[in-house]
């Protein structure tokens, strides 16, 4: 059976259980939920606009194709049930498709920095159900394949500390956020490597400086030691000089004492000299008299 329902949703991934229930017959929705719990749906191919699937129904295997085209949700099932506007099988497929997307959304609950806030998507189904929800993060198989092709050379480049290869352009895809995150991490590591290199160079410079200072200190200590030796020698010389000076002073005192003794001796000698003088004068007088006496008479 085929059905066509007006739908303003941009992607099939935007249809959540509430919206699906709003366009379903109550009993058909309940049975579809039961199929879901019993894990009866097998989705073959799925993208934003088309899902192909099979479902194990109560009377055999049924095939479904659900499409989003020109503002309409087109559902097709190999069953012959008269449920309107969609059979229980197609409802179950939409629920399963939504459920499949959920773990991916919960793995990426936060919006990474730099990415735009996802716009609000509004969907109106069957003209009477209007629901507003956040855009679901979905990944197309082709995007994932491109990512897998990129991540291998990218990993090698990261291991070799090289520039990352050019990434595939996947605007609006969840994969582009993964790529941006990896790029950001690689960039942080590159900056941290540069910082580390700079720090190592600074440490080396400082070590050289400290080595030079140590050498200067050693030279200064050697010089100080030499100066101490010289000072000790000078002290010895001064002590010798002092001893010599003391001896000189002693000799001077002795000389002064000897001079006094000499002066006394000279004085005594002068006193003892006067009888000699008198005797000499007497001898001189006798000699004069004798000379007068022996002089021939005229």
- 120 φ, ψ to 5°? -70, 135
Q: Are 65 and 76 in contact (CB under 8 A)?
A: yes
Return the residue of 7, 14, 41, 89 that touches Zn ion, per CB under 5 A.
89
Nearer to Zn ion among residue 40 and residue 89 (C-beta): 89
Rounded to the nearest angstrom, the gap between the alpha carbon of residue 280 and the centroid of all alpha carbons in its chain is 124
Asked, as a colleague might, if the bond just before 55 is cis with ω within 30 of 0, I would say no
User: 9 or 89: whose CB is closer to Zn ion?
Assistant: 89
Stretch that binds Zn ion, among 85-93, 177-185, 207-215, 274-282 (CB under 5 A): 85-93
* Residue 77 binds to Zn ion (criterion: CB under 5 A): yes
Residue ranges in 169-198 that form contacts with Zn ion under rule CB under 5 A:
none
Question: CA nearest 31: which of 103, 80, 95?
Answer: 95
Q: How many CB atoms lie within 10 A of CB 56?
A: 15
Restricted to residues 199-228, the positions that interact with Zn ion (CB under 5 A) are none
87 binds Zn ion (CB under 5 A): yes
Nearest to Zn ion of 36, 137 (CB atom): 36
Q: Is 28 in the site for Zn ion (CB under 5 A)?
A: no
- Binding status of residue 41 toward Zn ion by CB under 5 A: no
Backbone CA torsion sign across 153, 154, 158, 164: positive
Dist. CA 106–CA 102, nearest whole Å: 6
Nearer to Zn ion, 7 or 87 (CB): 87
Site for Zn ion in 109-148 (CB under 5 A): none
Verify binding: residue 79, Zn ion, rule CB under 5 A.
yes
- 57: how many CB neighbours lie within 10 A of its CB? 19
Report the interface residues with Zn ion, using CB under 5 A: 77, 79, 87, 89
């Amino acid at each position: 059976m085929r059905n066509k329902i007006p739908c303003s949703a941009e992607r099939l991934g935007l249809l959540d259980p509430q919206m699906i229930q709003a366009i379903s017959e109550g009993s058909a929705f309940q049975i579809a939920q039961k199929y879901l719990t019993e894990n009866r749906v097998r989705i073959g191919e799925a993208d934003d606009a088309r899902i192909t699937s099979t479902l194990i129904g109560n009377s055999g295997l049924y095939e479904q194709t659900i499409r989003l085209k020109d503002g309409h949700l087109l559902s097709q099932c190999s069953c012959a049930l008269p449920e309107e506007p969609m059979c229980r099988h197609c409802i179950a497929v939409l629920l399963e498709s939504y459920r499949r997307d959920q773990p991916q959304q919960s793995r990426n609950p936060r919006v990474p920095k730099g990415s735009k806030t996802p716009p609000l998507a509004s969907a109106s189904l069957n003209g009477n159900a209007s629901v507003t929800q956040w855009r679901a993060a979905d990944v197309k198989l082709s995007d994932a394949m491109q990512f897998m092709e990129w991540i291998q050379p990218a990993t090698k480049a990261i291991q070799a500390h090289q520039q990352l290869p050019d990434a595939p352009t996947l605007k609006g895809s969840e994969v582009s956020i993964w790529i941006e995150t990896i790029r950001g991490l690689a960039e942080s590591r590159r900056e941290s490597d540069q910082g580390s290199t700079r720090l190592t160079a600074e440490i080396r410079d400082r070590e050289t400086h400290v080595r030079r200072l140590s050498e200067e200190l050693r030279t200064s200590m050697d010089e100080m030691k030499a100066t101490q030796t010289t000072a000790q020698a000078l002290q010895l010389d001064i002590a010798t000089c002092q001893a010599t000076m003391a001896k000189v002073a002693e000799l001077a005192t002795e000389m002064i004492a000897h001079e006094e003794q000499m002066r006394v001796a000279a004085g005594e000698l002068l006193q003892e000299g006067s009888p000699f003088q008198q005797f000499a004068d007497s001898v001189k007088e006798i000699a004069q008299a004798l000379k007068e006496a022996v002089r021939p008479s005229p």
